[in-house]
Structure 1
């Protein structure tokens, strides 16, 4: 029997008790044993795989160098948690993306309103739409020790679509609409609805998944008024509360079946 570990930080493990239980049950159905670990030193060297559920590329690389097989790989964790690297990948792959560039001061912004983001922030908490140089200066002061990207403000009706990709296949999708402001993040109180993405959007997400050789990621697209879309972010690890609330897809089961297939290759 294959033995795997799902790795979370203690605080994130407490927030994700339900999903951890679903993963363990799905592992049993796939003929595997899955246990939880919250500290790197507790990871068994005999484990066949690790489901890595932390935003920590450095730790992911260390675990890989120690011989652990990670789902997702450290390289995916690195790119998904660097918004500028995500933009570079999309550009290289020919996937339409929100124009992004590294900036160090308000002088480097071409126009207002603009959007500023720390490159490694998540959950919409280190993102601001700035209307003028004063607001931009406040953001740079607050995050003076961080890398920051600047983007044009793109009207999307505070809506985006998240595609849940397991391997190269679409497992499900949701549309997220912000309750206020321009952010659509579900964790900030936004609305979530089931969504059927266009064939072009699915192909774009598959192109990203293939390039990364990813196992389980979220691919977020802004919806444009003309019906088009732009890649906004890649999520690793990606949370699935919105998918469970809007569909009957058991993403834990889909993921564990994928892992079993990869281990048997």
Structure 2
């Protein structure tokens, strides 16, 4: 059974070993996986229907796609062609715009920090409904990138002036900063959780120098994740929660194309193996 594993080139260069693991584990399960870069692809439609090309050759006779690009339009193209995509285009769409993510989670009743979308073209910095300092995020950022803390209106205006973006997401600052929990999900099931914390940054991301330790979810915390999974079937994601000053979970982000170096370091959970086993099982059942 043939399939494609698709990365953005920059991400592929950072994750070559992980991509190779997916390909090798795929062989063990009878899956022939070709790894390709998004920048080498084209997609479109004509009178015969939808098409995708890799290096100017039309994609044919594939059964599945592992989409690690964070591009929902790519996943939707393959789905419309009748090809199974991991993660689905719906997951990719929701997870890769923080505004859409918070709309979805808040619609499920998940506790969140006060958050609003800010559009510099027609909104004034005096219209922010909460006090400084607060957090400013790019809706499409990931891995802790393009996340800023602004202490006052001048800093906010300087940020808007130097970063030309159509929209931002702004969020009140949690009273207890620099600590969160990432829950890893494969095949719509929880496979592990880690606590991330930092004493030098309000962001706790491992890739930004944060510290990590294993975390055991409480029953009510597991139920928060399972509630989300009942409404959104996820093949492989990370669900992030801020821990407030009372120790309660506050929903923060849904991470598509999630990295798992921290989980393997602490718990030796081989997410590549688990992901391929899930994919093989899902394809057999389809």
Does the pair score TM above 0.5?
yes
Gaps of 5+ in 1: none
The 8 Å contact of residues 3 and 33 in structure 1, kept in 2 or not, is answered as yes
Other-structure match for 2:68? 53
What residue is the counterpart of 2:207 in the other structure?
A: 187
Q: Does 1:65 align with 2:80?
A: yes
Alpha-carbon RMSD across the aligned residues, in angstroms, is: 1.7
What's the offset of the Cα at 1:179? 5.0
Q: Which has the larger Rg?
A: 2
1:204-224 Cα distance to aligned partner (Å, 9 max, x none):
112222322111111000011
Q: Distance in 1 between matches of 2:165 and 2:226?
A: 35
Q: Does 2:100 align with 1:80?
A: no
Q: Does 1:235 align with 2:234?
A: no
Q: What residue ranges of structure 2 are gaps of 5+ in the alignment?
A: 42-52
Deviation at 1:228, TM superposition (A): 0.3
- Corresponding position: 1:197 with 2:217: yes
Provide the TM-score with structure 1 as the length reference: 0.93
Q: Aligned-pair distance for 1:84?
A: 1.1
Secondary structure at 1:161 match in 2? strand
Residues paired across the two proteins, number? 264
Segment drifting more, 55-64 vs 239-248? 55-64
Residue of structure 1 in register with 2:266 after alignment = 246
Find the residue that maps to 1:150 and give its secondary structure. strand
Within 5 Å, which residues of 2 pair with 1:17-36?
A: 17-36=16-35
Is residue 126 of structure 2 the alignment partner of residue 107 of structure 1? yes
Between stretches 140-149 and 170-179, larger displacement belongs to 140-149
**Any idea what SS the aligned residue of 1:21 has?**
helix
1:65 is displaced (CA, Å) by: 2.9
Instruction: Find the counterpart in structure 1 of residue 185 from structure 2.
Output: 165
1:145 aligns with 165
Determine if contact 1:167/1:209 at 8 Å carries over to the other structure.
Answer: no
Residue 27 of structure 2 corresponds to residue 12 of structure 1: no
Tell me the distance in 2 between the aligned counterparts of 1:59 and 1:156.
Answer: 38
Q: After superposition, what is the alpha-carbon deviation per residue over 1:9-46, rounded to whole angstroms, capped at 9, x for unaligned?
A: 22211111111122123223323222211133227321
Superposition TM-score, scaled by structure 2 size: 0.87
Equivalent-residue separation in structure 2 for 1:122 and 1:169 (angstroms): 22
For 1:146 and 1:245, locate their aligned partners in 2 and report how far apart those are by CA, in whole Å.
38
